[in-house]
Amino acid sequence: MIAYLERFIPDNDTDPIPQEDGGDRRHDSHSPVLPDSLGLHGSSVDSGKAAAVFASRDFGGMASVQPLALICPTGPEDIARTVRAASASTHLTVAARGNGHSINGQAMAHMGLVIDMRCLDPDLFELAPGGPHGPPSVVVSGGALWEDVLTRCLEHGLSPRSFTDYLGLTVGGTLSNAGVSGQAFRYGPQTSNVTELEVITGKGTVSLCSEDENSDLFFGALGGLGQFGIITKARILLQPAPDMVRWIRLVYTDFSEFTRDAEWLITRPDGNSFSYVEGFVFVNSDDPANGWPTVPLRPDHPFEQERLPPTAGSVLYCLELALNYRRHDLPSAVNSVVEGLTGGLGFVEGLEFHANVDYSEFLLRVKRVEQLAKAAGIWEAPHPWLNLFVSKSSIADFDRTVFRGILREGIGGPMLVYPMLRNRWDSRTSVVLPDSGGIFYIVALLRFSQPYPDGPPAEMQVAQNREIVHACNKKGFDYKLYLPHYKCQEDWKRHFGDKWAKFVDRKNRFDPMAVLAPGHKIFSRSL
Ligand code: FAD
């Protein structure tokens, strides 16, 4: 059966995929060969041109790798069959594709089988009420979008606890990395807010795992870059949903005051701080994409630059905060909590911005950005993004070298920087953090430029990212890449450091043929 299937694998990168009608449909279920070869029960297998184009693209827009076929699974068993068929072949690989929002082809498979996780169990939503033994939780598909999970939870007055800034990402896709936003200082990343997974390993076995059952697979899969298994279900911790959010932005001229205040806020006792703490760097100018106009929360709320002291430098900082509350809470009570927490902070007086918005509007705030960016042709342009975790011990130097040096003119998009607490991250997962200290910062350089020639060439932006990483290495900063991307195993080894031996051990146990997630280029497919 497998030999039959492999006859249809072209010999080299340039051979075209066997084509169907090449029409608009994302999934063409008329592939004459693959369905029978894989022995699937109801899932569609598409080796047509449209499917190939879909699976060979991602949000980064810089990598393009042709798959053999795109599979739309009807259930976990068909994913298991696909993985077993691939591992019984001599060189097939399998990539789970969440919503394809990777930057560097991580969800692609060269002449391999790409599984469109969005097809899997879209209606799965098993709610478990909370009780004396723990908070409420819900089991959802690994291919569910976080925005759909949120919407369904809100219908029951509940909400996940930890998010990403943008919710058009799948549960399996973010759990394979970490999943962070302004709630992470309190609840940890999304990987700290899941108690059970169903995972299909590289051997094609379907396993339930948790802290107590198959724990090595559970912790391996969390932050595991899809290397040990495909997450088909996840149990996510929930909490009662608030109705409203007081959304606040406070401007700083001095990085040390900005970090002092951000760190003070994230180390307050639980329940005695904001619900969300983030921050960003912006350029001290009227540049619409990089400067003052990026700060106000409402169009009728101008940025009064004359309030900036004359000592302000070329870049400024903004603390972004949110306080969840109930619709029936008295405005005076909300004001008093906000004033209590911000009263002693060192932001520039008069450069503070407040808005009251619905909880879901706040969480879905990047969806509006997506709509605008799509209309402006920026969403489809290349996105050479760079994400790092930088330890507290290196962040001041990082500011000097990178924000005030290399990036002093901005990047044509947000430059996020905010602190998190190491003790909210479980060290048993595969996620890699900087070596030292209880506090580290996420730095997210989210470039949103017009496609070349209206914007800078992507190669130039990639080169600037390289310059930043080079500077971090040269200056000996304690940092790790988040959403890492390397081309050879030596670099991966360095990235994982102390965790490399464990990572390799888990790979040998759960995916010994290295069938899964080839797009990361960590392991080569074995024969
Ligand atoms: P994909 O890109 O499809 O896949 C990513 C990796 O996970 C691939 O290796 C893939 O094989 C693997 N994978 C996918 N599904 C599964 C599964 N079910 N089981 C096992 N492996 C799987 N990240 C944050 O932490 N915080 C943010 O605020 C944030 N904001 C973002 C905003 C935008 C606009 C974008 C584009 C990305 C953002 N990210 C953020 C990054 C995002 O979390 C990752 O890129 C994530 O992997 C994307 O999810 P996806 O579903 O598109 O995964």
Q: Write out pLDDT tens, residues 59-93.
A: 999 999 999 999 999 999 999 999 999 999 999 99
Examine the pLDDT at 3 and tell me if it is beyond 70.
no
Q: Which of 174, 201, 369, 387 to mutate to test the pocket of ligand 1 (most atoms within 8 A of CB)?
A: 174
Q: What is the mean pLDDT of the segment spanning 266-294?
A: 97
DSSP string, 152-216: HHHTTTEEES---S---SBHHHHHTT----TTHHHH--GGGSEEEEEEEETT--EEEEESSSSHH
Total structural domains within the chain: 3
Q: Look over the chain and give the mean of its residue pLDDT values, rounded to a whole number.
A: 93
Q: Write out pLDDT tens, residues 311-320.
A: 999 999 999 9
Out of 240, 267, 295, pick the residue that ends a domain: 240
Angle at 369 between CA 319 and CA 362, to 5 degrees: 55
Residues 281 and 171 in one domain: no
- Band of the pLDDT at 138, cuts 50, 70, 90? very high
Q: Is 165 a catalytic residue?
A: yes
Which residue range is the domain that position 346 belongs to?
244-482
What pLDDT sits at residue 6? Answer: 40
- Give CA–CA dist 512/408, Å, rounded: 46
- Band of the pLDDT at 24, cuts 50, 70, 90? very low
In what helix (H) or strand (E) does residue 229 lie, and over which residues does it extend?
strand 229-240
Q: State in Å: Cα 101 to ligand 1 middle.
A: 5
Residue from 169, 222, 167 nearest 199 by CA: 222
Residues 217 and 278 in one domain: no
What pLDDT sits at residue 18? Answer: 37
Residues 49 and 101 in one domain: yes
Examine the pLDDT at 238 and tell me if it is beyond 80.
yes
Residues 374 and 306 in one domain: yes
Note whether residue 319 is domain-resident: yes
Residues 302 and 424 in one domain: yes
What CATH number should be reported for the domain holding residue 58? 3.30.43.10
Examine the pLDDT at 26 and tell me if it is beyond 60.
no
Between 271 and 175, the more confident residue is 175
Q: Write out pLDDT tens, residues 399-456.
A: 999 999 999 999 999 999 999 999 999 999 999 999 999 999 999 999 999 999 999 9
Q: How far is CA 247 from the centre of its chain?
A: 22
ipTM of the complex: 0.99
What pLDDT sits at residue 7? Answer: 37
Residues 316 and 391 in one domain: yes
Q: Is 278 a catalytic residue?
A: yes
- Give CA–CA dist 206/183, Å, rounded: 32
Residue written as token pair 């988040």: 482
Give the pocket of ligand 1 (CB within 6 Å): 58-59, 95-102, 106-107, 117, 142, 164-166, 169-170, 172-174, 176-181, 225-226, 230-231, 483, 517, 519-520
| 7 touches 36 (CB < 8 A) | no
Pairing, β 113-116 against β 94-97: parallel
Identify the active-site residue in 77, 165, 196, 329: 165
Residues 461 and 354 in one domain: yes
Note whether residue 169 is domain-resident: yes
Q: How many CA atoms lie within 13 A of 249 on its CB side?
A: 21
Q: State in Å: Cα 340 to ligand 1 middle.
A: 37
